[in-house]
């Protein structure tokens, strides 16, 4: 069973966390199931960038992003070549190391 190493994040998992994942699960679902409450304003429909994450190790094991995800990622804060949306990146058969960016852009909450 592949493992996901979530690097320390000041608010979501200050000490970092290593969790097991099943192949086919999304990075977001694995995080949420383990108490890492990554924001997901669009309810996992690939319509925002709040679940943006950076794959520090294992990026090449993921299926490539599609055009819709790429279009959304272009709007993400701190975009890097190994950026993915957690709701769209499905765990394959390799371990992953994931960084959750310090900031997200949530247009829904910023308009209130």
What CATH number should be reported for the domain holding residue 7? 3.10.20.30
pLDDT tens-digit profile of 55-98?
Answer: 999 999 999 999 999 999 999 989 999 999 999 999 999 999 99
Number of domains the chain contains: 1
Using only C-alpha atoms, what is the Rg of the chain? 13
* Side-chain half-sphere CA neighbours of 93 within 13 A: 0
Strand partners, 3: 20
Classify residue 19 by its DSSP letter. Answer: E
Q: What is the pTM of this model?
A: 0.92
Containing domain of residue 27, as a range?
A: 3-110
Residues 6+ apart with CB under 8 A from 58: 92, 94, 95, 96, 97
Q: Is the pLDDT of residue 105 over 90?
A: no
Q: What are phi and psi of 27, to 5 degrees?
A: -60, -40
């Amino acid at each position: 069973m592949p493992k996901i190493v979530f690097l320390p994040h000041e608010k979501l998992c200050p000490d970092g966390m290593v969790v097991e994942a099943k192949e086919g699960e999304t990075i977001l679902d694995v995080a949420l199931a383990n108490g890492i409450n990554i924001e997901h304003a669009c309810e996992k429909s690939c319509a925002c960038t709040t679940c943006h994450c950076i794959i520090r190790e294992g990026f090449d094991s993921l299926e490539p992003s599609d055009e819709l995800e790429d279009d959304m990622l272009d709007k993400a804060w701190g975009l890097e070549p190994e950026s993915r949306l957690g709701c769209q990146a499905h765990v394959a058969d390799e371990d992953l190391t994931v960084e959750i960016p310090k900031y997200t852009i949530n247009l829904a909450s910023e308009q209130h």
